[in-house]
């Protein structure tokens, strides 16, 4: 029997007594790409931060391979769960290689440098993310897409089971949006990586996600395949838009947006 690598059980979270998440429950399937969708302010980013214990739930729990992450050491979590944050701004002049090497920190003892195994993993992560030829470039001189690939390479250097991505295509040119998500899908297929993508970009998540969780009024409103979740009725209710899930002429799932819904 295949078990879930990550299970969210009745998770609730509040800021200053303002409820943001209300008994959220779902589980991941190994090797899938799961989208978490919802309008701004619905709690998507807060949910993601609970999945790697950057925040602690006020109710319920998150189970990583059956173990409550609230009782786990942060280094142990970081060895299995990697994150790509919403912003990839880095203020210091690190090279790409130095950034990617940071992904090995959860595996290293204090005051010890990289081992030969660390160096091998860093090289492999850079190759997988397509940044090997940029290894000696400073990240603050790079484009948004190049920085995003570098941050993904850093996450891959953690050799994680699960990759959490918060709005991974935000501020990217449209061609780089496709390149980054094509990379994520390839890594999921080739490495068996389980990926969670938080996004409000309906056409993109329809194209790349195997399943999705739709958040509305701080609760799970719908869950299933993109076609099951992105119904015209659900998109009117949650996003207040007229839209339709369909397949384009190349056979790719997408969402056609018609405009705001006026009832």
Write the pLDDT tens digit of every residue in 18-50.
Answer: 999 999 999 999 999 999 999 988 999 999 999
Instruction: Report how far apart, in Å, the C-alpha atoms of 53 and of each of 31, 145, 234 are.
Output: 21, 27, 30
Q: Give tens-digit pLDDT for 82-105.
A: 999 987 667 778 999 999 999 999
pLDDT on residue 109: 76
Q: Which helix (H) or strand (E) holds 229?
A: helix 226-229
Q: Which residues contact 74 (CB under 8 A, 6 or more apart)?
A: 53
- The residue among 90, 71, 96 whose CA lies nearest residue 156 is 96
Q: CA quadruple 167, 172, 173, 177: dihedral positive or negative?
A: negative
pLDDT on residue 90: 72
- The residue among 105, 92, 13, 114 whose CA lies nearest residue 55 is 13
pLDDT on residue 12: 97
Spans of all domains in the chain: 1-80+160-223, 95-159
In residues, how long is the chain?
A: 263
Q: Give tens-digit pLDDT for 67-87.
A: 999 999 999 999 999 999 987
pLDDT on residue 88: 65
Q: Which residues contact 15 (CB under 8 A, 6 or more apart)?
A: 46
> 229 with 52: CB under 8 angstroms?
no
DSSP state for residue 138 in the 8-state scheme: B
- C-alpha–C-alpha distance, residues 62 and 10, integer Å: 9
DSSP state for residue 115 in the 8-state scheme: -
Q: Are β-strands 219-224 and 211-216 bridged in parallel, bridged antiparallel, or unpaired? A: antiparallel
Q: Which residues sit opposite 259 in a β-bridge?
A: 242
pLDDT on residue 1: 44
- C-alpha–C-alpha distance, residues 118 and 14, integer Å: 39
Q: Give tens-digit pLDDT for 123-164.
A: 999 999 999 999 999 998 998 889 889 999 999 999 999 999
- C-alpha–C-alpha distance, residues 183 and 60, integer Å: 33
Tokens of 147: 């920085």
Q: Which residues contact 11 (CB under 8 A, 6 or more apart)?
A: 21, 23, 24, 25, 47, 50, 57, 59, 60, 61, 62
- C-alpha–C-alpha distance, residues 158 and 122, integer Å: 9
- Options 1.10.10.10, 3.30.465.10, 3.40.50.2300, 3.40.50.300; CATH for 1-80+160-223 is 3.40.50.300
């Amino acid at each position: 029997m295949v078990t879930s690598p990550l299970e969210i059980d009745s998770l609730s979270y509040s800021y200053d007594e303002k409820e943001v998440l209300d008994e959220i429950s779902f589980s991941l399937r190994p090797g899938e790409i799961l989208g978490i969708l919802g309008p701004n302010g619905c709690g998507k980013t807060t949910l993601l931060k609970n999945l790697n214990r950057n925040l602690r739930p006020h109710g319920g729990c998150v189970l990583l391979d059956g173990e409550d992450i609230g009782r786990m050491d942060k280094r142990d979590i970081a060895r299995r769960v990697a994150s790509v944050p919403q912003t990839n701004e880095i203020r210091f002049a690190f090279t790409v290689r130095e950034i990617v090497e940071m992904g090995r920190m959860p595996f290293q003892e204090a005051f010890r440098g990289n081992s030969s195994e660390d160096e091998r993993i860093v090289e492999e992560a850079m190759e997988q993310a397509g940044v090997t030829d940029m290894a000696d470039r400073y990240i603050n001189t790079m484009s948004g897409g190049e920085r995003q690939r570098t941050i993904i390479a850093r996450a891959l250097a953690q050799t994680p089971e699960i990759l959490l991505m918060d709005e991974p295509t935000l501020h990217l040119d449209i061609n780089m949006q496709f390149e980054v998500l094509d990379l994520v899908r390839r890594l999921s297929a080739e490495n068996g990586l389980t990926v969670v993508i938080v996004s409000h970009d309906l056409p993109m998540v329809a194209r790349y996600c195997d399943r999705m969780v739709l958040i509305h009024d701080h609760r799970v409103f719908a869950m299933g395949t993109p076609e099951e979740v992105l119904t015209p009725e659900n998109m009117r209710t949650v996003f207040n838009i007229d839209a339709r899930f369909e397949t384009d002429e190349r056979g790719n799932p997408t969402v056609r947006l018609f405009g705001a819904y006026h009832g």
